[in-house]
Amino acid sequence: MPLVDVNRILTLPGIVNIVQVACGFAALFASSFVWRDTDTFFQFIYKGFGWQTLIVFILLITWIFAIAMLLNNLTGRDVQETVGKRRLLIVYGICLVLLIISASLESWYCDKSKGHFYHARFVAVTIFNWILVASYIALIALTMFFA
């Protein structure tokens, strides 16, 4: 068996998983990396936007899960055979609910932050969050109907 199983990545769930890893990283980067003039730093607590820490935590947890799934796909292991279809759907559902909470809070911050330095950052994270929500809906549908 080869070290990397490219065939598992080139399936529809594999491509969705790659999108999840990329969007999760982009959302984490946009929500915590700050570049202001010549200063660059990571920020996890935002004055006036307290829920942002929860959003970053949710993004981190779901991104770690997406990376674990990607590594399983790359090594050729079938997660559904290992943990079972029902458990996999439950985990996908938990990730979906967490990301809906995250995307909703971030959408609220988009409205609340108009004219603020963080507004563009909140818009970017909101877009990535909703893409992640759609990707988990797609994975749930693919797992339920085609696996």
Quick one: pLDDT at residue 124?
Answer: 93
Quick one: pLDDT at residue 38?
Answer: 76
Longest distance between any two alpha carbons in the chain, whole Å: 55
48-99 pLDDT per residue, tens: 777 888 999 999 999 999 999 999 888 888 788 888 899 999 999 999 999 9
Confidence of residue 45 (pLDDT cuts 50, 70, 90): confident
Whether residue 1 has pLDDT greater than 60: no
Q: What is the pLDDT averaged over residues 27-36? A: 84
Q: What is the pLDDT averaged over residues 113-123? A: 81
Whether residue 43 has pLDDT greater than 70: yes
4 Cβ neighbours under 8 A, 6+ residues apart: 74, 75
- Mean pLDDT, the chain, whole residue set: 88
Contact present, 49 and 11 (Cβ < 8 Å)? no
Q: What is the pLDDT averaged over residues 110-121? A: 80
Which H or E run includes 143? helix 119-146
State how far the alpha carbon of 59 is from the alpha carbons of 31, 64, 106, in Å. 9, 9, 11
Quick one: pLDDT at residue 63?
Answer: 97
Helix, strand, or coil (residue 42): strand
16 Cβ neighbours under 8 A, 6+ residues apart: 135, 138, 139, 142
Quick one: pLDDT at residue 40?
Answer: 75
| Sign, Cα dihedral of 95, 101, 104, 108 | negative
- The percent of the chain in helix, strand and coil, each rounded to the nearest 5, is 75, 5, 20
Quick one: pLDDT at residue 2?
Answer: 58
- pTM assigned to the model: 0.88
The long-range contacts involving 68-71, CB below 8 angstroms and separated by at least 24 positions, are 69/17, 69/20, 70/9, 70/17, 70/18, 70/21
